[in-house]
Amino acid sequence: MHPILKLIAQRLALGLLLLLAASVLIFAGTSILPGDVAQSILGQSATPEALANLRRELGLNDPAVTRYFSWLGGVLQGDLGTALTNGRDIAESLGGRLKNTLFLAFWAAAISVPLAIFLGLLAVRYKDRWPDKLISAVTLTTISIPEFMIGYVLIYWVAIKWRMFPSVAIINDSMTLGAKLNAIAIPVMVLTLVVLAHMMRMTRAAILNVMQSAYIETAELKGLGMLKIIRKHAFPNAIAPIVNVVMLNLAYLVVGVVVVEVVFAYPGMGQYLVDHVSKRDVPVVQACGLIFAAVYIGLNLIADIVSILANPRLRHPK
């Protein structure tokens, strides 16, 4: 077998094992939390009889281990089960949320990744001159401000004062692509500002590191222009660390944006997960946790493979 295929197979198997471990951790974690789903549903209006009735119906009287394995059995057959709180099919309601999360993450990434890399290259080109300093100052400022604050500031100016884009980013299937993009405009701006600095700085650092090498000097001596050197000689050699940072940020865009979702009432997975954690709805928390873990593991896998492919020494091991 080709060494790279073997490596991918190994990583995939390890990933599956990690997912299993994650599901055990999530299950144990939600079981430790105070209160159960019956209490959370009925809240302050819980009477002992109503609690007992609800617990019996939801099967909460079974031991935890039994509940975990019956859930695992379902998942292995592709059945995520139904939510304890409202009896809806988890795969169905989660599917819509996941689609929304990926939609927002895709557009934020589509704008921020090229922009970050471009700005990084620009900063290298004008190293220690005003464009470099300006880019660093602005992106470091936006990454230092909490994302909800950026959200509120943009809402105030863009949505309330200028009335350019809506402040509520609720989207649904009946909307056209244009309407959806209009709705998510401000959240995409916020996310772009939040992830820009990290990727930009890494691009800048990685390329500057390569720029110290002898072959760059050679390229300079044979009379190549600065941007061309960066594009043809420096960037391909700096790609591994950049891809790693890009993947980490993509993972953040998928699993870490709950605060932005709340501020813009965006129907993504983060809010969905938080609601179900606070209601102790274990099957839903498990399903969300699995997806989030899978996204992280998958993106890291891609980052590893890309860095191997980009490096001939790793591509052809002895």
Residues that bind another protein (CB under 8 A): 33-35, 39-50, 53-54, 57, 83, 85-88, 93, 96-97, 152, 155-156, 159-160, 163, 166-168, 170, 172, 262-265, 267, 271-272, 275-276, 278-279, 281
Which is nearest to 122 in space by CA: 140, 134, 110, 106? 134
d(CA 64, CA 33) in angstroms, rounded, equals 13
Nearer to another protein, 48 or 223 (CB): 48
Least distance to another protein, CB of residue 55, Å? 10
Q: Which residues, other chains included, contact 262 with Cβ-Cβ below 8 Å and sequence gap of 6+?
A: 148, 270, 271
Backbone phi and psi for residue 89, each to the nearest 5 degrees, phi listed first? -70, 125
List the beta bridge partners of residue 89: 82
Nearer to another protein, 37 or 238 (CB): 37
d(CA 254, CA 55) in angstroms, rounded, equals 34
Least distance to another protein, CB of residue 152, Å? 6
Q: Amino acid letter at 36?
A: D
Which is nearest to 192 in space by CA: 259, 139, 266? 139
Nearer to another protein, 120 or 283 (CB): 283
Nearer to another protein, 172 or 218 (CB): 172
Check if the beta carbon of residue 311 is closer than 8 Å to that of residue 21: no
Question: What angle (nearest 5°) sits at the alpha carbon of residue 303, between those of residues 207 and 103?
Answer: 105
And the tokens for 90? 């988890």
What DSSP designation does 80 have? Answer: -
Least distance to another protein, CB of residue 262, Å? 5
Least distance to another protein, CB of residue 51, Å? 8
Least distance to another protein, CB of residue 135, Å? 30
Least distance to another protein, CB of residue 71, Å? 18
Nearer to another protein, 54 or 194 (CB): 54
And the tokens for 298? 């998958």
Q: Give the ranges where 126-184 is alpha helix by DSSP (H).
A: 130-144, 147-154, 177-183
Rg, C-alpha atoms of the chain: 24
Q: Which residues, other chains included, contact 231 with Cβ-Cβ below 8 Å and sequence gap of 6+?
A: 121
Nearer to another protein, 235 or 264 (CB): 264
d(CA 234, CA 211) in angstroms, rounded, equals 6
Least distance to another protein, CB of residue 192, Å? 20
Nearer to another protein, 37 or 199 (CB): 37
Q: Which residues, other chains included, contact 60 with Cβ-Cβ below 8 Å and sequence gap of 6+?
A: 36, 37, 38, 67
Nearer to another protein, 62 or 275 (CB): 275
Least distance to another protein, CB of residue 278, Å? 6
